[in-house]
Amino acid sequence: MEIRVLQYFLAIAREQSIVRAAESLHLSQPTLSTQIKNMEEELGKQLLIRGTKGSRKVTLTEEGMILRKRAEEILDLVKKTENEILLSDSVIVGDVYIGAGETDGIRLLAKTAGKLRRDYPGIHYHISSGNVSFVTEHLDKGLLDFGLVFGNPDLKKYETLKLPMKDIWGVLMRRDDPLAGKRAISPEDLWDKPLLLSQEQSDGGPLIQWMQKKLSSLNITVAYNLLFNASLFVEEGLGYAVSFDRIINTSGDSNLVFRPLTPPLEAEMSLIWKKYQVFSKPAEKFLQTLQESLKEDKDWYYVKKKYKLKVNFSYNLPFFIQPIFPSYSISAHTHSRIHLVIDIHNDYGFLPYYKMSLCIQILIPHRYTLFLRTLFP
């Protein structure tokens, strides 16, 4: 089966007409029909359902739909390979393909890309979003250079670079929900609640183990792939989305809040790639820069402590305090109208602040916002 004939087949699938496909390919209609007929005979399967005299519309058979999907992947891989081979040895120009789920950890990869941009402006990035099955499938087919995944990857198939951050599991809910008054959410809090869970959850997974219930016994009203879409259902009161933190913005006037799980549940992140992978020059440079950054960069820390921040603050009307990042619970009490003691609790994991700083904001109704920053000892 030739690459050229696959291109012909995809043109027919796209145009839904042999005549229009022949015009777009600058071929005669009989020539194109003969090429497709020969391919059907070679495969021993009918790929197209030709229209009757009154209709020239062409539809794909089940086998034809399978071939279309695989042909698109094959041609993408051919194009990627050609680009890598044609690049000059002296100039690093080209594409890096990354697959990842929804996570704030993608910031680390974005930071690496930012470091490379100044010296290598010709590197371009393709980010594909999907669950771990999507990422590993595309890695195995050679359509991705790297995958950002959670948990323990298959070390027999993939090389692994552990990343120095963890995603925090918790519950996304409406701000006016009774559970929003709790500092953290226990399994018992969710047993009788309508839940929105990721489609990839299974009975053997860490989240379902934390639930202490079988998946079938939970009241799952929505199975989501993208948390942003699920958050809209939560906002409309359809349930509680169990998800990672720092994906949906819950600060300011958002109608949603995030509360971590208790006991805490964290997900480790890894960057993976196929064993014996031969990288393009851009992908090789990207991985090298990331590895160097992890050795040198001191911006990433784990903190599990309690801190007190004393603030002299003059304002005698009600005010509200919240962290810029919602993983950290803050309680405050006033001893007088000019003295405030804030207890900052971070019992749940990763603190991604530059130079170990924590920024909080004091919201004063109808006036202004006061931002406070403190350095951890």
Give the DSSP letter string of 140-193. HTTS-SEEEEES---TTTEEEEEEEEEEEEEEEEETTSGGGGSSSB-HHHHTTS
The residues pairing with 290 across neighbouring beta strands, listed in sequence order, are none
Helix, strand or coil for residue 131?
coil
User: Which stretches of 266-368 are assigned E, i.e. beta strand?
Assistant: 266-274, 301-312, 320-323, 329-336, 339-351, 357-363
pTM for the model: 0.60
- CATH label of the domain that carries residue 141: 3.40.190.10
Residue listed under structure tokens 């020539």: 31
Helix, strand or coil for residue 223?
strand
Question: Does one domain contain both 258 and 175?
Answer: yes
Question: Does one domain contain both 282 and 199?
Answer: no
Host domain of residue 320:
302-375
Residue 357: closest CA among 309, 319, 316? 309
Residue 240: closest CA among 326, 172, 323? 172
Question: Does one domain contain both 99 and 54?
Answer: no
Question: Does one domain contain both 257 and 194?
Answer: yes
Question: Does one domain contain both 255 and 187?
Answer: yes
- CATH label of the domain that carries residue 70: 1.10.10.10
Query: What is the per-residue pLDDT for 164?
Result: 85
Question: Does one domain contain both 251 and 200?
Answer: yes
| Cβ 21 vs Cβ 5: under 8 Å | no
Question: Does one domain contain both 239 and 182?
Answer: yes
When divided into structural domains, the chain yields a total of: 4
Regions of the chain where pLDDT drops below 70: 52-55, 84, 86-90, 297-377
Query: What is the per-residue pLDDT for 296?
Result: 73
| Cβ 318 vs Cβ 365: under 8 Å | yes
Query: What is the per-residue pLDDT for 53?
Result: 59
Query: What is the per-residue pLDDT for 156?
Result: 92
Question: Residue 175: which residues within 8 A CB-CB, separation 6 or more?
Answer: 254, 255, 256, 257
Give the end of a domain, one of 248, 264, 280. Answer: 264
Residue listed under structure tokens 């799980």: 261
- Cα separation, 135 vs 154, in Å, equals 13
- 52: tokens are 């009757």
Residue 148: closest CA among 42, 267, 262? 267
Question: Does one domain contain both 174 and 259?
Answer: yes
Question: Does one domain contain both 206 and 232?
Answer: yes
Give the end of a domain, one of 62, 84, 106. Answer: 84
Question: Does one domain contain both 127 and 181?
Answer: no
Helix, strand or coil for residue 155?
coil
- Cα separation, 194 vs 101, in Å, equals 24
Question: Does one domain contain both 134 and 275?
Answer: yes
Residue 295: closest CA among 113, 167, 163? 163
Question: Does one domain contain both 74 and 8?
Answer: yes
Question: Residue 274: which residues within 8 A CB-CB, separation 6 or more?
Answer: 139, 140, 142, 157, 158, 159
Query: What is the per-residue pLDDT for 1?
Result: 77
Query: What is the per-residue pLDDT for 79?
Result: 83
Query: What is the per-residue pLDDT for 368?
Result: 36
Query: What is the per-residue pLDDT for 57?
Result: 84
CA 318, 319, 323 angle in degrees (round to 5)?
Answer: 160
